[in-house]
Amino acid sequence: MDSPGGELGFSSAFVPTPIDVANIQELARSGVCPMNSQLSKLRTTMAAAPAELDRYDADIERLRRALSRLTSERSVLASYTDFCRSVLSPIQRLPNELLADIFDFCLPDDLYVIFASTTDDEVDRLVRRYLLQLGQVCTRWYRVAMDTPKLWSTIAVDTEVWKWSFIGDARLAALLESSLTRGRNSPLTLHLGISNRDSDVVVIESLLEHAHRWKNVFVSSSGAPCVALSSAMISLDQLEMLDLNVDSWGRLPAFQNAPRLRYLAFSGYVRDLPLLPWTQIKTIVYDSHDTAGPRYSPLSVLNRAPQCTSGTFYLDLRECPPHEPWDVDIKSGVNQLHFQLLVSEGDDAVVANLFDALTLPNLEALEIYPSDGTSPPIWSSTHLLALVERSGFDSCLTWLAIRAVVSDEELLRCLRALPKLERLFFTECGSSPTSFSTTITDNFLRGLFLVPNIASVIPKLRLLSLRCGLGFSDSVYADLLASRARLFDGKSAFGANLWWFGPRKREFSVEAMERINQLVLDGGIIFNTGEYNPAVHDSD
């Protein structure tokens, strides 16, 4: 019988019951002839079955077509709903400029480095594969990705891996030119690794055609710069930042004509410096290959840059004659100086020679650290005090960071000469990477107490950051913080960072910590503590 509406098909009156099926199966297995009463029913079923089966086939076909229609309609509706959701999505209302900014945040990290890991990586960053993938979302995204110049304004090229590429130099050069063209006139950040192959000339010449766009340039070469770059006199009207890592400069003239150049990072020998507009440089980061003998000093770079306000120097001084003064006199208006020194163990004259070569009347920040994993420099209090008097630090130095071998008395002696100091960062260390001594003692901490109506060491101190082995009494440290709490200008809370070297040899006193926590709750101090992590706490 048909179901209501016929949508679910019919049910034949001749469909056997489960008992009928079981009986006929038993007769078939036994081979016994059915009784006369059964024969009539069996013959009737046999006669009606073909027509009934045809009816089933017809109804099944009808239902199959209905199912196909329903499946198709559902698919269309689902797809239509997805498009509706896409059209109504908030991102569709974003202006193209904001969408381009989002794409810019997707820039892979390898576009910020010069050297590619593999030739595939080099191809990926030349063609901007990440932009091609974003462009597959929709036509609008493709247009934004392809037609926004700033998305193509960072170029990284490492010609060293080109020789291993199966697609050849000509194809790679074409990919580079395509990326440069898409950048139009957008200011260009260029990361260039030169391998000094003949094919480098093609790369350099292609980049030189866009020299008017260069804004931030990083160049690295294991030998002399490519002749196409060495002989170039380029007009670099937009160049602001230059980072050069080249072993041999010759007399490289390429970057002389850069009226906006203010930031310079480079490496090399003092006796072989590049030709640059030194008089307009504001920031210098210098990794020197020289050892600061009596005729040459890396510090003489400051004499070339009278407008420099910030200098960072990485100096290898292990072969510097320890008892022979540097034959250089540096009088610089620099405001910030950061030294990372590689020195011989136990050499106590290196820092002394460094101080003796300098006169810094405008210096506000000074940092002296050893290179990672090397012997720390030995602090020279006498020579620093001479530098303080010669430069007038008592009226200008406000920021001091030290990681050097020094006793608590010597350190206090230096700090007494710096009444304007506001921030002090000190890291304890020993005379070698494996030995250790304690500078942060009770004597040192008591020397920093701020007592009303009594002349105190560095009275304007607002931040004290110590990295140490907890070789002091916790109660004395809490007394120091209490003496300094909210006393600077009557408003600002005093900042204190206490980072301990792991593994910690002892626990901090519960009573002292309770006092410190109460000072924090009262708003008198801002306090941070924990195990010393150079990657985090060296920038606190």
Q: Which tens digits make up the pLDDT trace of 29-38?
A: 777 777 777 7
pLDDT at site 431: 47
Buried-state track 110-147, b at ≥16 Cβ within 10 A, e below 16:
beebbebeebebbbbbbebebbeebbeeeeebeebbee
Q: How far is CA 505 from CA 429, 468, 475, 509, in A?
A: 16, 11, 17, 13
**Alpha helix (H) residue ranges in 367-441:** 381-391, 408-416
To which residue do tokens 């810094």 refer?
A: 360
Q: Which segments of the chain have a pLDDT < 50?
A: 1-5, 431-433
Three-state secondary-structure class, residue 69: helix
Dihedral Cα 321, 325, 328, 331, nearest 10 deg: 130
User: Distance (Å, rounded) from C-alpha 3 to C-alpha 207?
Assistant: 79
High-pLDDT (> 70) share of the chain, %? 88
pLDDT at site 233: 65
Is the torsion defined by CA of 14, 15, 19, 21 positive or negative?
A: positive
In DSSP terms, 242 is beta-bridged to 217, 264
Three-state secondary-structure class, residue 188: strand
pLDDT at site 252: 65
User: Distance (Å, rounded) from C-alpha 326 to C-alpha 329?
Assistant: 8
Cis peptide before 503 (omega within 30 of 0): yes
Instruction: Give the residue among 196, 119, 187, 113 at the shortest CA–CA distance from 156.
Output: 113
pLDDT at site 489: 57
In this structure, are residues 456 and 398 in contact, taking their beta carbons and an 8 Å threshold? Answer: no
**Beta strands at 494-500 and 241-246: parallel, antiparallel or unpaired:** unpaired
The contacts of residue 372 (CB under 8 Å, 6+ apart) are: 534
